[in-house]
Amino acid sequence: MDIIQTILKDSNYHLALFTKKEIEDLQETIFTKITRGKETSYINCIVRKKD
């Protein structure tokens, strides 16, 4: 399963809300960090410029 689908699976949102270009752009910005021994996905906030 795609990471974006995993994030949205328990929410009221669906990938159909986004264009293919928006999804591709978001996928390019996702990075992972090890947090408490577990790999966690992050993106940088475009407003706060933080993870």
Query: What distance in Å separates the CA atoms of residue 38 and residue 47, rounded to the nearest whole number?
Result: 27
Position 21 scores a pLDDT of: 95
The count of structural domains within the chain is 1
Is pLDDT above 90 for 13?
Answer: no
Residue 22 lies in a domain: yes
Residue 25 lies in a domain: yes
Is pLDDT above 90 for 8?
Answer: no
Query: What distance in Å separates the CA atoms of residue 6 and residue 4, rounded to the nearest whole number?
Result: 5
Q: pLDDT tens digit string along 25-49?
A: 988 889 999 999 999 889 888 788 7
Is the whole-model pTM more than 0.75? no
Residue 15 lies in a domain: yes
Residue 30 lies in a domain: yes
Residue 48 lies in a domain: no
Give me the domain span that covers residue 18.
Answer: 3-42
Is pLDDT above 80 for 51?
Answer: no
Residue 51 lies in a domain: no
Residue 28 lies in a domain: yes
Position 49 scores a pLDDT of: 77
